[in-house]
């Protein structure tokens, strides 16, 4: 399938579709584009398309960000780094989700070690939560509230603060029993990190 051209912008969507990756994100009133790799395929096909997403986003004054996670074909730290380095575009960065980074580093509660290898400067968007290093049904990581897992949330947030991160941080309490309580607890962790 041929990647769409500028006509895609006319319909207010960026769509890079092919056998290796898919991105569909509305562009009205946003400051970044989140690119999610949804299906497997050869890196030779996917990385140029992801690089193209960076170029398109950059031309529009936006930032494109990609995410990989356990159920995706690309689901290892080596994949993350290959995509980031292979696409090599200043308007393309990765997404940091502690639960995904934890699983990519062996579910040790030391996801910040991968963050250091990736580099805070290469992260464009944060989906913040804690994790217990396990998978929920459906194959993706669990996203508990700060304090309910084994992540040192304060340490992760300090790395972002000390690294000069100025992007978006979203509290990512997905499919938890009490999302309101979980969001409040993660917001407290963010507030504490900001005042430390």
Tens of pLDDT, residues 94-126: 999 999 999 888 898 889 999 999 999 999 999
The pLDDT value given to residue 117: 95
| Mean pLDDT in residue range 27-48 | 52
The model's confidence at residue 34, banded by pLDDT at 50, 70 and 90, is: very low
pTM as predicted? 0.78
**Share in percent of the chain as helix, strand, coil (round to 5):** 40, 20, 40
Contact 95, 112 (CB under 8 A): no
The pLDDT value given to residue 45: 64
3-state secondary structure at position 170: strand
Per residue in 132-170, pLDDT (tens digit) is: 988 887 677 888 899 999 999 999 999 999 999 988 898
Domains of the chain by start residue, with CATH: 1-94 (no CATH), 97-196 (3.20.20.150)
The pLDDT value given to residue 35: 47
Reply yes or no on whether the pLDDT at 129 is more than 80: yes
Q: Which two structure tokens, joined as six digits, stand for 97?
A: 């989700």
% of the chain beyond a pLDDT of 90? 30
| Mean pLDDT in residue range 179-192 | 90
Higher pLDDT pick, 130 / 195 = 130
Element (H or E) spanning 125, and its range? Answer: strand 123-128
Contact 116, 77 (CB under 8 A): no
The pLDDT value given to residue 14: 40
């Amino acid at each position: 399938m041929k990647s769409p051209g500028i006509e895609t912008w006319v319909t207010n969507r960026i769509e890079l579709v092919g056998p290796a990756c898919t991105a569909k994100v509305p562009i009205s009133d946003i400051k970044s584009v989140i690119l999610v790799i949804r299906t497997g395929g050869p890196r030779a096909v996917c990385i140029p398309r992801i690089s193209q997403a960076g170029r398109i986003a950059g031309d529009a004054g936006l930032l494109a960000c990609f995410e990989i996670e356990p159920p995706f074909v690309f689901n290892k730290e080596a994949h993350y780094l290959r995509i980031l380095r292979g696409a090599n575009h200043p308007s393309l960065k990765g997404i940091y989700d502690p639960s995904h980074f934890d699983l990519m580093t062996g579910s040790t509660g030391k996801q910040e070690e991968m963050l250091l290898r990736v580099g805070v400067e290469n992260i464009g968007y944060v989906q913040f939560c804690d994790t217990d290093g396990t998978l929920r049904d459906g194959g993706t990581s669990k996203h508990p509230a700060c304090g309910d897992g084994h992540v040192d949330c304060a340490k992760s947030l300090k790395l972002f603060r000390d690294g000069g991160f100025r992007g978006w941080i979203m509290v990512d309490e997905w499919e938890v029993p009490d999302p309101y309580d979980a969001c409040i607890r993660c917001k407290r962790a963010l507030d504490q990190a900001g005042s430390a």
